[in-house]
Amino acid sequence: MIAARFARDGAAVLVSDIDEAGGEESVRLIAAGGGRTAFFRADVRDERQVKDLIAFGERTFGRVTVLVNNASAPFRPGEPLDHWADTVQTDLLGAMFATRHAIDAMRRGGGGAIVNIASISALWHGRRSPGGAPAYDVAKAGMIRLTTALAGLAESDGIRVNCLAPGWIATHGPREYWESLTPAERLERGVPSKLLTTTQVADAVVRLATDESLAGRVLAWWSEDEPRLVKFGDRGYAEFVDLPTRSLKFEV
């Protein structure tokens, strides 16, 4: 949906995935709608493949102006400490590889924009209901910090880096689980009362990529609320509580 939205707005779109059939289908749909597009298979866990992907984009379309870091490993909440290396390699290191090589390309092309896709799971400070996958949360928190740390590129190189941290999205998996619950069960399990649509997510990504007033910013969208920017320079947590009082006993 993100690629299709950029194509609809007139951008030439390079689609990349390890799923060649899915990637080629995306290209077919974009081309059928009159969009300029191409497919390049790349596994973002391999920096060499990422470098080749960016180079292919430059050769094919002349320059790279926008990068959307949206690759993600399978979500496995039932296996909290398994597969963590694959998740971090895909969701965080893959984005860092792509960002590093896209910056070089954008410098050659006179600037650009990078949009990282994180998650509200990176913002939670503990969970009131079971769930989550530690490696996924770690990777998405890293995406947020990568974004804010690169804010200065806007002034030095004309490259704006921003981040979307969405809530639950109506894609396969989350939608089926959400639909299996009653409203009361959703409330009990900390599941939102509604889901974000893929169209809403695509619109938010395009806004972050094209709004020249935004750099180093994180747009949080908690599914049930309106999207809001995290205040730049925020220290991380807006609310604090005091330590509980207790007696200290030492053996002598």
Catalytically active residues are 136
Report the distance separating Cα 236 and Cα 118, nearest Å: 15
Q: φ and ψ at 173, to 5 degrees?
A: 110, -75
Fill in the DSSP letter of residue 121: G
3-state secondary structure of 164: strand
- Whether the CA torsion 221, 89, 98, 1 is positive or negative: it is negative
Report the distance separating Cα 189 and Cα 122, nearest Å: 18
Kindly tell me the burial class for residue 31, based on how many C-beta atoms sit within 10 Å of its own C-beta (0-12, 13-18, 19 or more).
middle
